[in-house]
Amino acid sequence: MRIIGKHIFKNMVTVITVTMFFSCRSNFKEVQKIGAQGAGPLTVAENINTKYTDSGRLKSHLISTKMNDYSNREFAYFEFPDDINFTVYDNDGNASNVKADYAIIYSETDLIDLQGNVVLTTHKRDTLFADQLFYDQMKEWMFTNQAVKFRTKDQLIEGIGFDSDKTFTNAEVLEPTGIIYLNEN
């Protein structure tokens, strides 16, 4: 009877172990998602100074004190919570620069949302002042529906809303509220 009891106990332990092993489904991917979508960013970078080149030509230069990488989210993005200073160079080497207090770059839509004291200066010295400006990287188009000031070499235009291509050749204040003509003789 002792041997039979030992054998039954051994079989019961085996059955329980096998049952537990097969009843637990693999939740590894779900556990990864929980950790990845926590409250914080996947990575944090500080004192960024990045230059992008293509075929030996400088195309852009990004400077920021901090970048939070949220590429672990379902709708991935990169956040620049403190500031951003971004310079883009055209094929002739002309630089256009944008500065803002805060920025988000959405990976899936290629949309950049610049916020707070946005100042965009082109190589022609045209300057846009806004509280918020969006830039669609795919369409190479910038826009806002908020108040703006747009200074060209001969005008200062205030208004609501702004649309432009990346070279400012089609720049337009959508609802002008005031125009000041500069350099009038």
Output the pLDDT for position 31.
Answer: 47
Q: Which CATH architecture has domain 39-181?
A: Sandwich (2.60)
Phi, psi of 164 (to 5 degrees): -165, 155
Comparing 183 with 45, the larger pLDDT belongs to 45
pTM beyond 0.95: the answer is no
Share of the chain above pLDDT 90, in %: 52
Structure tokens at 121: 């200066």
| pLDDT tens digits, 90-137 | 888 888 899 999 999 998 998 999 999 999 999 889 999 999 999 998
Output the pLDDT for position 167.
Answer: 77
Instruction: Compute the C-alpha angle 172/173/175, nearest 5°.
Output: 135
H-helix or E-strand spanning residue 125:
none
Average pLDDT score over residue span 72-81: 93
| pLDDT tens digits, 153-163 | 999 999 999 99
In DSSP terms, which residues pair with 134 in a beta bridge?
A: 113, 143
Q: What is the DSSP string of 82-121?
A: S-EEEEEE-TT--EEEEEESEEEEETTTTEEEEEEEEEEE
Phi, psi of 179 (to 5 degrees): -130, 130
Contacts of 82 (CB under 8 A, 6+ apart): 64, 65, 66, 101, 102
Contacts of 180 (CB under 8 A, 6+ apart): 155, 156, 157
Output the pLDDT for position 137.
Answer: 85
| pLDDT tens digits, 125-176 | 999 999 999 999 888 899 999 999 999 999 999 999 999 987 787 889 999 9
